[in-house]
Amino acid sequence: MTHRPGLDPAVAQVRRAVRAALAGLPAGSVVVVALSGGADSLALAAATAFEAPKAGVRPVAVTVDHGLQDGSTDAAAAAAAQARVLGLEAKVARVEVGADGGPEAAARTARYAALRDEASALGAAAVLTGHTLDDQAETVLLGLSRGSGAASLQGMAALSRLAEGVALLRPLLAVRRATTRAACAAEGLVPWDDPHNDDPSYARVRVRQKVMPVLEAELGPGIAEALARTAEQLREDASAFDEMIDETIEDIVEHAEAGISVSVPALAANPPALRHRIIRHVVAAEFGESLTRVQTLEVARLVTDWAGQGPIDLPGCRARRVGARLEFAAR
């Protein structure tokens, strides 16, 4: 696709990505732009400021101050000031970061909660974040290291739901990090480089600084793009599986005392991949818990390798074989 003469290619690429994301929103909508002040979110904010009026939407930049380091308040204020120069409304939300799940997960939880609250207060239709193709590749590698299956290798979705009536949009998942930095330079924007992005105590930083360069050096260029393609393909597969599960569950699941039961013959007739997904889906939907691979296989043995074994304790529930039914009941 061509761009206007004189328009920097990096700026054009970011704007095209944002234009496509905003095209699906109703005219008159409010959109929240998550602005950390880094190059990715700053390029996103600049592109949104340019594209939003043409799309008929009202953009509001929200900067979350995690308060995790000296100077965070000043950095947040500077990001908001740059947003105003770009023509955006700008707000700063200060949060308290807990400790659950480690520092990265706790900060992410607090950040998304703040964005959700701000979107709700503004009546926003969507929240836009600046995650790039490089972020997607790193997410896939981190998921691979955890060994938690295809779900963790799907990476981040370009479109998901943040809250009731609020979409979470990631317009830049096909854009490289180098492109967002180039776009900032072309527009005279000065990004803030978060010191945490260079802290090797964070797993994502180690992937970014050590793992990805080694993969590029040893396997050749294009690794990040290949990982992002893998995520997209797995997401397509997962969507197909989800449709199959929804169709199958209607016929094989019944409510039971204090829980739910599933037909053993029906589970046995399905291939392992679908059987295991049904088991995980039932536990997640009924009890709000996630099963590990080991736990899933133990439950599956009640179907495929039944030898009179007793109930299996799982997170939030207990599974047991009762005749031709597999029962899941609250513990």
pLDDT tens sequence across 169-198? 999 999 999 999 999 999 999 998 888 788
What is 257-330's CATH number?
3.30.465.60
Domain borders along the chain are: 9-223, 257-330
Instruction: Identify the band that residue 51 occupies on the pLDDT scale cut at 50, 70 and 90.
Output: very high
- Write down the pLDDT at residue 4: 56
pLDDT at 33 exceeding the cut of 80:
yes
Check if the beta carbon of residue 8 is closer than 8 Å to that of residue 183: yes
- Write down the pLDDT at residue 146: 78
Check if the beta carbon of residue 22 is closer than 8 Å to that of residue 170: no
What span, in angstroms and rounded, lies between the C-alpha atoms of 24 and 19? 9
- Write down the pLDDT at residue 100: 74
Q: Which amino acid is at 118?
A: E
Give the three-state DSSP class for 322. strand
Q: Which residues contact 200 (CB under 8 A, 6 or more apart)?
A: 206, 209
- Write down the pLDDT at residue 148: 60
| Cα separations in angstroms, 286 against 23, 266, 312 | 36, 19, 16
Residue 286 class from Cβ within 10 Å (0-12 exposed, 13-18 middle, 19+ buried)? Answer: middle
Average confidence score pLDDT of the chain:
91
pTM for the whole thing? 0.82
Q: Which residues contact 287 (CB under 8 A, 6 or more apart)?
A: 315, 316, 317, 328, 330
The arrangement of secondary structure in 9-223, i.e. its CATH architecture, is: 3-Layer(aba) Sandwich (3.40)
Give the three-state DSSP class for 63. strand
Question: pLDDT tens for residues 90-143?
Answer: 999 988 877 776 777 888 889 999 999 999 999 999 999 999 999 999 999 998
pLDDT at 214 exceeding the cut of 70:
yes
